[in-house]
A and B are shown apart, each in its own frame.
Chain A
Amino acid sequence: GQQLNQSPQSMFIQEGEDVSMNCTSSSIFNTWLWYKQDPGEGPVLLIALYKAGELTSNGRLTAQFGITRKDSFLNISASIPSDVGIYFCAGRNYGQNFVFGPGTRLSVLP
């Protein structure tokens, strides 16, 4: 089936640094979603994107829906310890199944 690629697979950053991660697909989607998962918990939706080129912010988080509709980016500014977790991207077309990426594991060093 369809697959999404996320990079980097994992990253270690210093507290206060900015973070960038991306998600790419071989096929187009008309919805891109970014989730964060804390250990032992279910993923929680961070940002949803519905339009190519759209740039959406949620506090220190900013995500963009790529113009080609085959990619999306998530940026976190001024990272803090509670940003630690796994970040998943997901794509979906109207009325169809969700496709998830493998996740980016973020560690924040004090």
Chain B
Amino acid sequence: EAQVTQNPRYLITVTGKKLTVTCSQNMNHEYMSWYRQDPGLGLRQIYYSMNVEVTDKGDVPEGYKVSRKEKRNFPLILESPSPNQTSLYFCASSSSGSFYNEQFFGPGTRLTVL
């Protein structure tokens, strides 16, 4: 089944404790992206990647890192999480090379930073 998977789905952590949220897709998509969603603020893009080893900042990159060492994986890293990073996070992927470039979303990761 074609899908985007995220792990973990739920995470409660404490301020300053490094964490990684994994994202993987099995559709051979070039494009991958991370969003955060907060009440009333819609989807805000954190980082995106047009292809392997190519990453770019989105609208709200501060406090986050990403890497794209291989096509299928795009982990989101919080080196020193803070309470204002408590949010619902979505990973998404899309084909860049195809005209039919719909974006598919993962199920979300709900992060709470105490």
**Interface, chain A (partner B; CB < 8 A):** 1, 31, 33, 35, 40-45, 48, 50, 88, 90, 92, 94-95, 97-98, 100-103
Contact B101 A44 (CB under 8 A): no
Q: Knowing A98-B33, A101-B42, say if A33 contacts B102 (CB, 8 Å).
A: yes
Chain A hits for B74, CB < 8 A: none
Shortest C-beta distance, A41 to chain B (Å), equals 7
The residue among B48, B92, B103, B108 with the most chain A CB atoms within 10 A of its own CB is B103
**Interface, chain B (partner A; CB < 8 A):** 4, 33, 35, 41-43, 45, 48, 50, 56, 58-59, 88, 90, 92, 94, 96-97, 99-108, 110
Q: Knowing A1-B59, A100-B42, A100-B43, say if A95 contacts B96 (CB, 8 Å).
A: yes
Contact A45 B104 (CB under 8 A): yes
Checking B41, B50, B102, B105 against A42 with a beta-carbon cut-off of 8 angstroms, the contacting residue is B105
Given contacts A43-B105, A88-B43, A103-B42, 17 further A-B contacts (CB under 8 A): A1-B59, A31-B101, A33-B103, A41-B107, A42-B90, A42-B105, A42-B106, A45-B102, A48-B102, A90-B103, A97-B56, A98-B45, A98-B48, A98-B103, A100-B35, A100-B45, A101-B42
Contact A94 B101 (CB under 8 A): yes
Chain B hits for A48, CB < 8 A: 100, 102
Checking A35, A42, A100 against B108 with a beta-carbon cut-off of 8 angstroms, the contacting residue is A42
Chain A hits for B108, CB < 8 A: 40-42
Chain A hits for B105, CB < 8 A: 35, 42-44
